[in-house]
Amino acid sequence: MPAGSFTMGDSSGDRNRADGETPRHQVALSAFEIDATTVTNDDFARFVEATGCITEAESFGFSAVFHLAIDAPPEDVMGPATGTPWWSGVKGADWRHPGGRFTDLEGRGDHPVVHVSWNDAQAYCEWAGRRLPTEAEWEYAARGGIDGAKYPWGDQEVDEGGWRANIFQGEFPRRNTGEDGFPTTAPVRTFAPNGYGLWQSVGNVWEWCEDRFHPATYRRGTTAEKRTTVTDPVGPADGQARVMRGGSYLCHDSYCNRYRNSARSQNTPDSSMGNAGFRTVSRRGAER
């Protein structure tokens, strides 16, 4: 990624108010390298083989699985999550068993690794000599050089002229028609890359970023002089949750329209789920 500047934040009016996608502001970034794809199951398997790492989902003995993706004995299903009954804790669900103990990774080597927490992603980065992208780096790369666009390819909707990303089709959360060909994860090099060569920066899986999350981050980082440019921002210094970007195969415009360049979300660093993974960047710069 070349050094450059871009306008960070929501430009389409699709913002989720609680996520803090505004005010839009100018950001300047130093050059950095970023993975063309999210880390795959095969990538993560090499890491585990080399280090013996036990992920937090494996340590806790369960992870969160979308109800239509569960493939496990009834006694493994711990019940629906409060407020989001389409999610359940499933015993034995982890990166090797994404839907529960009746599932495995056969045929999924080139799919994104899931059921990895922010802490797990940090362990992988340490082994690989890499780090997670800052939120600003992620958005700059995801935009693919098209400043102000809603999506990495521009402003056309995901299904205009053929599918451009892996999201939920049908009636969320009851029925997924799988019109894009993938009811859950897709191989990481599916659809078309953006102008910078990144594959599936929106849809497929949420991607962990380095930054702590706060809904007022952009307001804190700008001044009354809106033309002020923020250089190499690294997010707030406090807060428990970490930023997630890009949406996933479960995003639907009736519930979660976060499969956009500017969309933000968050979770605690020890959380894992069947629709979240990560990609890495070069270690130089943004050390914290």
Residue 288 lies in a domain: no
Q: What distance separates the 2 farthest-apart alpha carbons in the chain? A: 58
Mean pLDDT, the chain, rounded, equals 94
Three-state DSSP state, 58: helix
Residue 88 lies in a domain: yes
Residue 274 lies in a domain: yes
Residue 48 lies in a domain: yes
What confidence tens digit (pLDDT) does each residue in 32-77 have?
999 999 999 999 999 999 999 999 999 999 999 999 999 999 999 9
- Which one has a higher pLDDT value, 208 or 285? 208
Q: Model-level pTM?
A: 0.95
Range of the domain at 14: 4-282
Residue 287 lies in a domain: no
Percent of the chain with pLDDT over 90: 90
The count of structural domains within the chain is 1
Residue 275 lies in a domain: yes
d(CA 267, CA 264): 11
CATH number assigned to the domain comprising residue 94? 3.90.1580.10
